[in-house]
């Protein structure tokens, strides 16, 4: 049985990746942080009681800010593949906590790579690099585009990116950087702009929110659907040679376009609800991201199938259900028709039926 370690398993991508790997028959070991409240919402539907026979999902406490547990895990689990997704992943927060972001997202990668190197285990390693590293470089961006990072987050990710290359070149580690453009889903953290918008649409319709306060509406992003992106991560580690890949849709839309589409899908006029709050502006902004993912298409045979409009519909439908309203329906139909069997099954069995945790809907977005 192939054995994988996933850092960041409780995050958006980690939860989808764990599902994918379990569906492929892997034994999956996830790193989770100790918290005084449950932080495993996104993986609850795949959680297995460790006392049951045939368990293939194991969770281990640990933190990227400390190397000792990482070494212990790598040495004892002896994984075939390591997917390093754990990070302080919020760009705006990184301006407020630059030192912490560097510690977790940059040095955390050093700690993990060193744990692997010192263990002597021949594992394959995936690093969650980011299109944010391109910063102010003009679009379209591909593997040859020079990086021009504009935030502490991007600088930390770039450090981890180069370190991954350095372990590949210096120590012969099978290590890949996936330079992923923005990917969203109904499991997206509530403080990222897409989810903030789709939750607001639902809460407005439910009569629980009057206004949506946003920052820069002009920034453009290449937005795809997250479950499709974790397949690209897996594909990178199945190749004969370790390489770096850009992954994205090749399309770009502004935050304003996302707002317009989400509100009009719910038959709302966004101008009545959206206001600009400078608190959500960043000291420096990445204006325009659009991928050239030709290499991933050619070598990994990877390409996305969910369009921008479908992504918005999926997320709005989900958030409507989360506040107890009926979904409009187009998003749910897309999910059933297009999303792979492993993911569709988890929707049928778990998340879609159960709905999002009720308490969450009422939380206000601070960031």
Give catalytic status of residue 167 as yes or no: no
For ligand NAP, the nearest residue by Cβ is 11
Which of ligand G4F, ligand NAP, none does 13 bind, CB closer than 5 to 8 A by kind?
A: ligand NAP
Question: Under the criterion CB under 6 A, does residue 8 sit at the interface with ligand NAP?
Answer: yes
Given 191, 239, 254, 309, the residue binding ligand G4F (CB under 6 A): 191
**CB–CB of 27/332 below 8 Å?**
no
**CB–CB of 242/172 below 8 Å?**
no
Determine the Cα–Cα distance for residues 216 and 270; give it in Å rounded to an integer.
15
**CB–CB of 225/304 below 8 Å?**
yes
> Which of the stretches 20-28, 46-54, 86-94, 167-175 binds ligand G4F when contact is defined by CB under 6 A?
86-94
Given 24, 47, 61, 65, the residue binding ligand NAP (CB under 6 A): 65
Q: Which of residues 87-116 bind ligand G4F (CB under 6 A)?
A: 89, 91-92
For every residue of 31-84, DSSP letters joined together read EE---SS---GGGGGG---TTSTT--EEEEE--TT-HHHHHHHHHHH--SEEEE
Residue in 19, 27, 132, 310 annotated catalytic: 132
**CB–CB of 281/244 below 8 Å?**
no
Helix (H) or strand (E) holding 125: strand 124-130
> Which of the stretches 22-30, 158-166, 277-285, 302-310 binds ligand G4F when contact is defined by CB under 6 A?
277-285
**CB–CB of 346/230 below 8 Å?**
no
Given 13, 222, 292, 310, the residue binding ligand NAP (CB under 6 A): 13
**CB–CB of 364/330 below 8 Å?**
no
Rounded to a whole number of angstroms, the minimum distance from the CB of residue 153 to ligand NAP is: 7
Give catalytic status of residue 243 as yes or no: no
Size of the site for ligand NAP (CB under 6 A): 25
Determine the Cα–Cα distance for residues 124 and 142; give it in Å rounded to an integer.
23
Residues lying near ligand NAP in the complex (CB under 6 A) are found at: 7-8, 10-14, 31, 33, 39, 63-65, 85-89, 104, 128, 130, 180, 182-183, 189
Question: Which residue numbers are catalytic?
Answer: 130, 132, 153
Residues lying near ligand G4F in the complex (CB under 6 A) are found at: 89, 91-92, 130-132, 181-182, 191-193, 196, 214-216, 219, 221, 255, 280, 282, 285, 289
């Amino acid at each position: 049985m192939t054995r994988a370690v996933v850092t960041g398993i409780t995050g958006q991508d980690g939860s989808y990746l764990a599902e994918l790997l379990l569906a492929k028959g892997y034994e999956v070991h996830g790193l989770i942080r100790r918290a005084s409240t449950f932080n495993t919402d996104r993986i609850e539907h795949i959680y297995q009681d460790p006392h049951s026979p045939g368990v293939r999902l194991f969770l281990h406490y640990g933190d990227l800010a400390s190397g000792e547990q990482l070494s212990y895990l790598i040495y004892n689990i002896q994984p075939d593949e390591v997917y390093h997704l754990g990070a302080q992943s919020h760009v705006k927060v990184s301006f407020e906590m630059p030192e912490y972001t560097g510690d977790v997202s940059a040095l955390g990668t050093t700690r993990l790579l060193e744990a692997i190197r010192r263990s002597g285990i021949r594992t394959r390693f995936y690093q969650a690099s980011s299109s944010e590293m391109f910063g102010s470089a003009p679009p379209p961006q591909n593997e040859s585009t020079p990086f021009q990072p504009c935030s502490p987050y991007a600088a930390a990710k770039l450090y981890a990116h180069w370190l991954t290359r350095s372990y590949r070149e210096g120590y012969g580690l099978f290590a890949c950087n996936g330079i992923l453009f923005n990917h969203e889903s109904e499991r997206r953290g509530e403080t990222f702009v897409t989810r903030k918008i789709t939750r607001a649409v639902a809460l407005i319709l439910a009569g629980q929110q009057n206004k949506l306060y946003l920052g820069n509406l002009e920034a453009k992003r290449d937005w795809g659907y997250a479950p499709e992106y974790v397949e690209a991560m897996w594909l990178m580690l199945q190749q004969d040679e370790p390489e770096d890949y850009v992954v994205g849709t090749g399309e770009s839309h502004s935050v304003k376009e996302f707002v317009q589409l989400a509100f009009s899908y719910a038959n709302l006029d966004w101008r009545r609800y959206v206001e600009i709050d400078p608190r959500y502006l960043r000291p420096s902004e990445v204006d325009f991201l659009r991928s050239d993912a030709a290499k991933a298409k050619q070598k990994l045979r990877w390409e996305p199938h969910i369009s921008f409009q479908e992504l918005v519909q999926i997320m709005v439908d989900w958030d409507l259900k989360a506040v107890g309203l009926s979904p409009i329906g187009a998003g749910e139909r897309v999910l059933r028709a297009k999303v792979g069997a492993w993911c569709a099954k988890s929707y049928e069995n778990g998340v879609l039926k159960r709905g999002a945790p009720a308490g969450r809907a009422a939380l206000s977005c601070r960031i």
